[in-house]
Chain A
């Protein structure tokens, strides 16, 4: 999905190829450095072997590039894990949330770019919006389990739950460069304890 701040997306074949080359180059840089510190329009252009001006054509700033990468990651995750549960499910919501968190953790492990972007925020506003998006999806999925209406309160609580998980995972990432099982366990405890206090 394109947002207004990303001025353009490639629409014709050569444009699409270049756009994808830029994204791939940026992801390669982040993966190698395990941080976004080295990401610049220049380093991306060099890596993708395309003129800087073409990078600027799609991304007016490095922030808009980070934003695009991050949104791609979050949206991929939200569509991969959330949505209506299979009708035959007899799962209760807490075990659903647990397995969701397990999946998210392994998704982060398999997609270091998403993890690094989520844990080294270039823009707090961006992170805040990502959790709003994710929280809303989660609220709708949880409502299927509990049979409750999707209320504003539930949505906000799910946004908060999503922030809680990330802040515990981030702590592990900052201190150990990966999400350790012990931190993952604490993240699950924290999210479940909080959601139980909300959903009951």
Chain B
């Protein structure tokens, strides 16, 4: 994790690791209870985790640092879950993407904290950084599973595709309170149609 000023300080020894995890666990509980980031304060977290506020500040100089650390955590969780369930080779990348996005939706549905953080994010910078990491993961999955040729364009294309997918999921979540089947279908449409222009550019009429 980046150790830049203002970010969380990661623990290195056992008691520190336990406290750090306890703090993030408490933060997740608060988000879960409120189904939103409202009410998430350092004070509320200290009370919930039963950790002195001083040691909370030791790891997290601000509430944004907590949210940033949570973001990293949920992203790692999502990516590791996805890479575990996508191991079988499948030449048809569109089929792989279709399964992948259905999987992401079901992950959101099972993880309220992830939904809240990813779909009602507090800062555009976090969304941007998360999608760079996630896009890269998707690109390497497409290379490994479907044999899509590796390239810089593919990586950038997957970052953009990830943003598009999230944007449509977010629209559904804001308007319907959940990611509906029809918005999932729209997201699939948009992501696959776009990635097709990246992966097989010849098939598409050249854009002036």
- Show the binding face of A for B, using Cβ within 8 Å: 95, 98, 119-121, 124-125, 128, 131, 156-157, 159-160, 163-164, 166-168, 170-171, 174-175, 185-186, 188-190, 192-194, 196-198
In the complex, are the beta carbons of B167 and A189 less than 8 A apart? no
In the complex, are the beta carbons of A160 and B168 less than 8 A apart? yes
The bracket for how many chain B residues form the interface is: 20 to 34
Please name all residues of chain B whose beta carbon is closer than 8 Å to the beta carbon of A128 when the two chains form the complex.
171, 174-175
Report whether over half of chain B's contact residues are helix, strand or loop; otherwise say mixed.
helix
CB distance from A120 to the nearest CB of B (A): 6
In the complex, are the beta carbons of A124 and B193 less than 8 A apart? no
- Show the binding face of B for A, using Cβ within 8 Å: 120, 124-125, 128, 131, 156-157, 159-160, 163-164, 166-168, 170-171, 174-175, 186, 189-190, 193-194, 196-198, 204, 207-208
> How many residue-residue contacts, CB under 8 A, span A and B?
80
Q: How far is the CA of A36 from the CA of B194 in the complex (A)?
A: 32
In the complex, are the beta carbons of B197 and A189 less than 8 A apart? yes
Known: A95-B208, A156-B186, A160-B190; 15 extra A-B contacts, CB below 8 A, are A98-B208, A120-B124, A124-B174, A160-B171, A163-B167, A164-B164, A164-B167, A164-B168, A167-B166, A168-B164, A171-B131, A171-B163, A190-B193, A190-B197, A194-B190
Please name all residues of chain A whose beta carbon is closer than 8 Å to the beta carbon of B194 when the two chains form the complex.
189-190, 193-194
In the complex, are the beta carbons of B193 and A167 less than 8 A apart? no
CB distance from A165 to the nearest CB of B (A): 10
Query: Which of A159, A174, A189, A192 sits near B124, CB closer than 8 Å?
Result: A174
Q: How far is the CA of A163 from the CA of B207 in the complex (A)?
A: 20
